[in-house]
Amino acid sequence: MPEIQPEVQPAARPRRARTMSLSRQLIAGVLLTELLLASALLVVLVLYTQRLLLSAFDSMLQERAMATAALVRYSEKKPFQLVFDATLQPPSPNRLHPDFYRVQETGGPVIAADWPAGLPPATSRTPTVSTWHGVHYRSLRLTQLPVLDTEENLPGPAPKLTVSYASPMLSIEQRVLDAAIFAGAAGLLLLAATGLLTIWGIRRGLAPLRRLAGQAAEISALNWEFRPPPAARDTAELAPLIAALESMLSRLHQSFLRQREFLGNAAHELKTPVAIMKSTLQSLLQRPRDNQAYRLGLEQSLEDLERLQLLLDRMLRLERIEQAAESGAASRLPEVSLAAGCAAALERLQELAQARQIETKLVVKQDALVRAEGDDLELIWTNLIENAVKYSPSGSRVEIRVEAAGGEARISVEDEGPGIAAADLPRIFDRFYRGDPSRNRGTGGFGLGLAIVKSLVEAYRGKIRVESRRPAGLRFIVELPAHALPEIVAAPA
């Protein structure tokens, strides 16, 4: 029976992250702001219009109530009674929804009434709103109004009138609605016009940024020219970005050139021992030789292999140092003495110094503790002292000085050698760099010692620099963060 293989589902493709358009965000933000502003203005306008219309309506309502009170007069025959002349009552502005009124003596009988039962009575001089048959009515009540008609020989004091008057608010509501529609339409037209202007202005304003991005996209390993457009350089917001890009590109270009030079120098350094070994082995295979000749050829090849291994070890050490600096491992290291490390390096190189008749001296003004690996610090001092001893003339002196102050240690290595040209000083720490002919491969080095020293110092958050001495010689100065110890008297090595 054939084996049934399970069906394999294809792996889901990862979704592409949606890109955010800066111009769209700006346009949307501006349009949203304008829409909110237009809405707020519309609300304010409607409320203001409603307030004005209500004020005018209340004035009209009060005038109609007083006009209604003016239609009350005394009868022509005695006894004089108050009567209401309804024929002179002005017609309601709305034919479908008339005005309502009620006239009565203050504290007395009703003189005239045209007030529906379902409409609540007016209670105060301040207008109130009520609803009758789905229509909003605004009503008020005026009291202690005098009777304008006069008669002589009235018994008792002149009576006062109380008038209630109500009028539909349909006209106000319609006017407010018309004002809202007009203001809304005008706002939409203005919003459309300003939106188009906003889109045009933002796209035009971002055009230098797009051209700047186009110029940056053309940069490659074969083209390092960066020519930002004048409009972008003249834009205040883009000027810091352009300066940062130019600075970054300059550093990247220099790093790229140094990397290319490093690869070329490394290949050249590796090629020399490989070529020598190949030549030696080929010469041994060309014709039969005795055991002594084979032994001598193999010993020479082993020497070249040891040189090649030393070069590779130093290159790998440089890589390890740079990785340790990036990971921040120095903060977890123990504290070691600077003076002890310098003394150990001097002791290791004492035989070389005596062979070249070089006097060495260690001066410790104040020792300090540095958080670092003791082997790394000893390698720094060994490389610096060895470099000074190798290039110092016979009978000269190399001095190492240790001092600390203010949370920082300063170690200097001085020699009395020929020094190097001022033009070569900035590149003295480059890998495989040999600017001075006196510092050539004849000394047995690869040009990596000072590069290793610089990487180690920077890995421990320190600084290193070199300066020429007068009349001759070099001074290497290393500064490291440290904790000072009690002062120690100078001790010769």
CATH of the domain at 287: 1.10.287.130
In 92-129, which positions are buried (b, 16+ CB within 10 angstroms) versus exposed (e)? eeeeebebbbbbbeeeeeebbeebeeebeebeeeebee
Q: State whether 288 and 395 are in the same domain.
A: no
Q: State whether 260 and 172 are in the same domain.
A: no
What's the pLDDT score for residue 492? 43
Instruction: Among 287, 302, 326, identify where a domain stops.
Output: 326
Q: State whether 462 and 439 are in the same domain.
A: yes
Q: What is the DSSP string of 471-482?
A: SS-EEEEEEEE-
Instruction: Among 273, 291, 326, identify where a domain stops.
Output: 326
Q: State whether 111 and 160 are in the same domain.
A: yes
Domain of 294, in residue numbers: 239-326
Instruction: Among 306, 326, 346, identify where a domain stops.
Output: 326
Q: State whether 313 and 338 are in the same domain.
A: no
Q: State whether 117 and 95 are in the same domain.
A: yes
- What is the domain count for the chain? 3
Q: State whether 458 and 398 are in the same domain.
A: yes
Has residue 249 been placed in a domain?
A: yes
Q: State whether 391 and 374 are in the same domain.
A: yes
What's the pLDDT score for residue 440? 45
What's the pLDDT score for residue 1? 43
Has residue 223 been placed in a domain?
A: no
What's the pLDDT score for residue 12? 52
Has residue 219 been placed in a domain?
A: no
Has residue 305 been placed in a domain?
A: yes
Has residue 211 been placed in a domain?
A: no
**pLDDT tens by residue, the chain, 493 residues:** 444 444 445 545 555 556 667 778 888 888 888 889 889 998 999 999 999 999 999 999 999 999 998 888 888 777 778 888 888 888 888 888 889 999 998 888 888 888 998 889 888 899 999 999 889 999 999 998 888 877 766 667 778 899 999 999 998 888 999 989 998 898 889 888 888 888 888 888 778 877 888 878 888 777 777 778 787 777 777 788 888 888 888 888 877 776 776 666 666 666 767 777 788 788 878 888 888 887 888 887 887 787 777 667 766 766 676 666 566 555 567 888 888 989 998 888 888 888 889 999 999 988 888 888 888 888 888 889 988 888 888 889 999 999 988 788 999 999 888 878 777 777 777 766 665 544 444 444 556 678 778 888 888 888 999 888 877 788 999 999 887 776 544 444 4
**Strand-strand pairing, 397-405 and 359-364:** parallel
Helices (H) and strands (E) in the chain, counts: 9, 15
- Euclidean distance between the first and final Cα of the chain, in Å? 88
Has residue 13 been placed in a domain?
A: no
143 Cβ contact partners less than 8 Å away, ≥ 6 residues apart? 106, 125, 160, 162
What's the pLDDT score for residue 478? 92
Q: Where are the alpha helices (DSSP H) in 328-432?
A: 338-348, 350-355, 374-390
**Helix axis angle, 374-390 relative to 449-459, nearest 10°?**
140
Judged by DSSP in three states, 106 sits in coil
Q: State whether 309 and 344 are in the same domain.
A: no
Has residue 96 been placed in a domain?
A: yes
Q: List pLDDT tens digits, range 350-363.
A: 888 888 899 999 99
CATH number of the domain bearing residue 385: 3.30.565.10
Has residue 64 been placed in a domain?
A: yes
Q: State whether 266 and 411 are in the same domain.
A: no
Q: State whether 153 and 286 are in the same domain.
A: no
Q: State whether 310 and 347 are in the same domain.
A: no
